[in-house]
Amino acid sequence: MAWLRHSNSFWGRSILAIIAGLLIAVAFPAFSFAPGVFLGIFFLVLAIRGSGFFRGFALGSLAGIAFYGLVLKWLTTYLGLLPWVALSIAEGLIFGVAVGVMAVIWKWLANLNLGKAKPFVIAFAIATVYTAREYVASQFPFGGLPWARGGLSQVENHLAKWVWAVDIAGLTFLIAFVSALVALKFLNPLPQGSGLYLRGRSWVPTVAVFTVFFVTPFALVLDTSAQAGTMKVAAVQGNANAGLFAFDS
């Protein structure tokens, strides 16, 4: 625990960043381990603690390449090795830029006198950048890759109901916010000797936010009755030429 909070080893943090990227990836098919995205963002925040832009960029790029490398592995079946490697690196570098920005904003906010609101403001900023990164990735390169968005990782559990209220991007934001908030609390515990009562009480705001996030969807009753109207259905033709540039098939 102490190492996670205090180590400044770049190599240790690099391993942590790679683990973070892999954990985020396993939240999606074919693994569908939904808690992975929470754990991944938690470890990503630990990895970039106290970093500037360039160190944050390096660590974020490692996390991003690990994330996309695993989540886009299916590309090798249809397009081969090169497109998979190229796209994983391109999207990983975009991920790295976002994490570098996170690190800079976090460092700046950490020096402000925000009182007890500080961890909430920092978590809000981290979640905002993470969500914005997904938007950028959905636009660039080659028209974007809106793949493996955080909000989509919860499609098979009750948290998916949040999409009705806040859309996919909103659920991504909430996931990143609560994960970052828990990480920030973990990084800043009360001093030793504070006593169990004070330590427990210091966690109350964070636990309250986490509880509201997880419990609220249970109270959402969505209308599942049949709807009148029309629906557009798209069809995909199989048995076509494979390859990245086989657009005329």
The pTM for the full model equals 0.86
Average pLDDT of the chain, as a whole number: 87
The answer to whether residue 224 scores a pLDDT higher than 60 is yes
pLDDT digits (tens, 9 = 90+) for 61-111: 999 999 999 999 888 887 888 989 998 999 999 999 999 999 999 999 999
What's the confidence (pLDDT) of residue 249? 46
The answer to whether residue 244 scores a pLDDT higher than 60 is no
Domain span at residue 115 reads 2-219
pLDDT digits (tens, 9 = 90+) for 126-155: 999 999 999 998 887 777 778 889 999 998
Task: Specify the number of domains making up the chain.
Answer: 1
Mean pLDDT, residues 16-36 taken together? 94
Domain membership flag for residue 231: no
Domain membership flag for residue 241: no
pLDDT digits (tens, 9 = 90+) for 33-43: 999 999 999 99
Q: Distance from first CA to last CA of the chain, Å, rounded?
A: 55
Domain membership flag for residue 244: no
Domain membership flag for residue 97: yes
